[in-house]
């Protein structure tokens, strides 16, 4: 079943808007969260088909939120793609160890992002 409902998690209103607009124009239903805490709560409530997770956020960061979501019984089935400005190989490895299925460096190329969504969904 392809991913249809995607949660975009980013503390930047601009990033949320850009990603939400791209996804909506391509037929996805979008839910947004502005923090790791909100992402965890919305993942439990909305059960999105996929999550695009920023890393650098105040409070619970994206690595911590990914770890929580990927280990909880109710949400562990939700694929997570880290979408962040952190571009070091160690960041990617750490993100994957926390439970992410993939890792994109911002600014994400729209075609690459849509291809990843299609392949994971």
The predicted-structure confidence for 61-87, as pLDDT tens digits, reads as follows 999 999 999 999 999 999 999 998 888
Number of residues in the chain: 121
Report, at the CATH architecture level, how domain 5-119 is classified: 3-Layer(aba) Sandwich (3.40)
Domain coordinates of the chain in residue numbers? 5-119
Q: Which residues of 79-88 are buried (b: 16+ CB within 10 A; e: fewer)?
A: bbbbbbebee
pLDDT at 2 over 80: no
Q: Which residues pair with 51 in a beta bridge?
A: 7, 80
Helix (H) or strand (E) run with residue 81 in it: strand 80-84
pLDDT value of position 40:
98
User: Which two three-digit tokens encode residue 120?
Assistant: 């994971």
pLDDT value of position 121:
62
What proportion of the chain, given as a percentage, has pLDDT over 70?
Answer: 97
Q: What is the band of 4 on the pLDDT scale with cuts at 50, 70, 90?
A: very high
pLDDT value of position 101:
94
Give tens-digit pLDDT for 9-48. Answer: 999 999 999 999 999 999 999 999 999 999 999 999 999 9
pLDDT at 97 over 60: yes
């Amino acid at each position: 079943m392809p991913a249809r409902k995607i949660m975009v998690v980013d503390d930047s209103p601009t990033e949320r808007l850009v990603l939400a607009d791209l996804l909506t124009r391509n037929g996805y239903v979008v839910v947004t969260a502005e923090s790791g805490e909100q992402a965890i709560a919305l993942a439990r409530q909305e059960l999105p088909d996929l999550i695009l997770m920023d890393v650098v956020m105040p409070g619970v960061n994206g690595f911590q939120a990914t770890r929580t979501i990927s280990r909880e019984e109710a949400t562990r089935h939700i694929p997570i793609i880290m979408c962040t400005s952190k571009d070091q190989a160690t960041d990617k490895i750490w993100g994957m160890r926390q439970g992410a299925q993939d890792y994109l460096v911002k600014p994400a190329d729209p075609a690459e992002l849509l291809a990843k969504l299609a392949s994971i969904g």
